[in-house]
Amino acid sequence: MFSFFKNIDNKNHKPTYGVLKVLKYIGPGLLVTVGFIDPGNWASNIAAGSDFGFTLLWMVTMSTIMLIILQHNVAHLGIATGLCLSEAATMYTPPVLSRTILGSAMVASVSTSLAEILGGAIALQMLFGIPIPTGAILVVIFVGIMLYTNSYAFIEKIIIAFVSIIGLSFLYELSLVKIDWVQAGISWVVPSIPEGSIMIVMSVLGAVVMPHNLFLHSEVIQSRQWNLENEEVIKKQLDYEFVDTLVSMLIGWAINSAMIILAASTFHSNNVKVDELQQAQSMLGPLLGNHAGVVFAIALLFAGIASSITSAMAGGSIFAGLFGEPFDVKDNHSRIGIGISLLVALILIFIIGNPFKALIISQMVLSIQLPFTIFLQIYLTSSAKVMGKYANTKSTTWLMLLIGSIVTFLNVLLFISFFR
């Protein structure tokens, strides 16, 4: 994976390699990171920190490791085949199967957009007192304009900027609190499930891998079409993609960890139980000062908007894949997919009414669909017919099946818990 570090003393190298070469490949993973730090994760992380302190930090470490492996694997599909996950499904699986899975994936995209739009709307309510339905409309309008009028390269830059703002916001929040870093360090690597924490554990671990992110990562990777040049480029891209995925997921790990640490050091240490994002924001002001609450809401707004963009992009990719096409915002199929993901989600927000109930329904849909996407991915990336010599090794396939089974089991438990 790290063959690009070889021949470092070669005097005949071209100046486009090295750091600039790495930066050329950085970007796709950060779009996936947005889904890793979306409003749903915020709620779970704040609850984990306020209820159990640092104890559940190990969840972030474990989930990040699983996410790196799954996302790295689906990115290989895009690199080796020049196809995204939805295109490959249409091309290499029976029509009835591919249409069923991709149809359910579109439902998952709508469900994801519902949660992300709500996150942005909640932030607008925190900052400006805008009613959630009105805020949801504003988020959808902004996201629609961003997607329908800009290129992927520009959107990628916007997402990177948004992730940077979110990260800096939490650095600021952490600077306001006293943190027991020794205890945090231990909790990052030592698993512990305190009494009464199983629901939060399932929520974080079971929902960290989101269906739309698997479709999105393969799409944005193959959209650059470097694989069309030659085999040497494919090999280099495989190496650099791993760096992109690793760095991006570690950024997600740091931001998610910061959420739990902030909640543990602020709420748990003051015996304050927090169950909702609005409550977390309102409590930060009295405990850390008014600026802390405002910064929290700003970061949530950027997270909601950024994750709404990536969720809608995934919807466009999935819908285009149903017709054997790659994502292209100028193409009608991609545009329709974006519209379905955003507008149906917006309609559902108005129909359901209660934001908390809407988030529960969203999570239920994702927990049902996710196993189908994961095992579709494993089938495709393990097939020599699809991947050629870049197909998964037996050990990689077994590792993927283990992770897929763990994630599926946790999501089944999470789904069952909604009826208790």
- pLDDT confidence of residue 25: 53
- pLDDT confidence of residue 160: 82
- Residue 235, both tokens: 């090999």
Residue found by looking up tokens 């791993």 in the block: 242
8 A C-beta contact, residue 275 and residue 48: no
CA–CA distance, 379 with 419 (Å, rounded to integer): 32
- pLDDT confidence of residue 81: 86
8 A C-beta contact, residue 279 and residue 125: no
- Residue 346, both tokens: 């917006």
| Among 371, 380, 362, 367, residue whose Cα is nearest residue 404 | 371
Asked if residue 13 is part of any domain, the answer here is no
* Helix (H), strand (E), coil (C) string for the chain: CCHHHCCCCCCCCCCCCCHHHHHHHCCHHHHHHHHHCCHHHHHHHHHHHHHHCCCCHHHHHHHHHHHHHHHHHHHHHHHHHCCCHHHHHHHHCCHHHHHHHHHHHHHHHHHHHHHHHHHHHHHHHHHHCCCHHHHHHHHHHHHHHHHHHCCHHHHHHHHHHHHHHHHHHHHHHHHCCCCCHHHHHHHHHCCCCCCCCHHHHHHHHHHCCCHHHHHHHHHHHHCCCHHHCCHHHHHHHHHHHHHHHHHHHHHHHHHHHHHHHHHHHHCHHHCCCCCCHHHHHHHHHHHHCHHHHHHHHHHHHHHHHHHHHHHHHHHHHHHHHCCCCCCCCCCHHHHHHHHHHHHHHHHHHHHHCCHHHHHHHHHHHHHHHHHHHHHHHHHHHCCHHHHHHHCCCHHHHHHHHHHHHHHHHHHHHHHHHCCC
Asked if residue 238 is part of any domain, the answer here is yes
- pLDDT confidence of residue 322: 93
- Residue 103, both tokens: 């149809």
Asked if residue 19 is part of any domain, the answer here is no
- pLDDT confidence of residue 363: 74
- pLDDT confidence of residue 226: 54
Torsion, Cα 147 152 153 155, to 10 degrees, reads 30
Residue type for 71, please?
A: Q
CA–CA distance, 399 with 406 (Å, rounded to integer): 11
Question: Within its chain, how far is the Cα of 155 from the centroid?
Answer: 16
- pLDDT confidence of residue 225: 56
Asked if residue 29 is part of any domain, the answer here is no
Asked if residue 253 is part of any domain, the answer here is yes
Asked if residue 333 is part of any domain, the answer here is yes
CA–CA distance, 348 with 111 (Å, rounded to integer): 9
Angle ∠(317,218,141) on CA atoms, nearest 5 = 40
8 A C-beta contact, residue 207 and residue 112: no
Structural domain tally of the chain? 1
- pLDDT confidence of residue 26: 54
Domain interval for residue 164: 35-417
Residues 6+ positions from 363 with CB-CB distance below 8 Å: 40, 115, 203, 207, 414, 418
Say if pTM beats, i.e. exceeds, 0.75.
Answer: yes
- pLDDT confidence of residue 58: 92
- Residue 350, both tokens: 């108005």
Q: CATH number for the domain including 358?
A: 1.20.1740.10
Residue type for 123, please?
A: A
Q: From first to last of the 420 residues of the chain, give the pLDDT tens digit.
A: 444 344 434 444 443 334 444 445 556 677 778 877 888 778 788 888 888 999 999 988 988 898 899 999 998 898 888 889 999 999 999 999 999 999 999 999 999 999 899 999 999 999 999 999 999 999 999 999 999 987 767 887 888 888 888 888 888 888 888 899 999 999 999 988 888 777 788 777 766 778 888 998 888 877 665 555 567 777 777 777 888 888 888 888 998 899 899 999 988 888 888 877 777 887 787 778 778 888 989 999 998 999 999 999 999 999 999 999 988 888 899 999 999 999 999 999 898 877 767 776 777 788 788 889 999 999 999 999 999 888 999 999 999 999 889 888 877 777 777 676
Asked if residue 10 is part of any domain, the answer here is no
Asked if residue 17 is part of any domain, the answer here is no
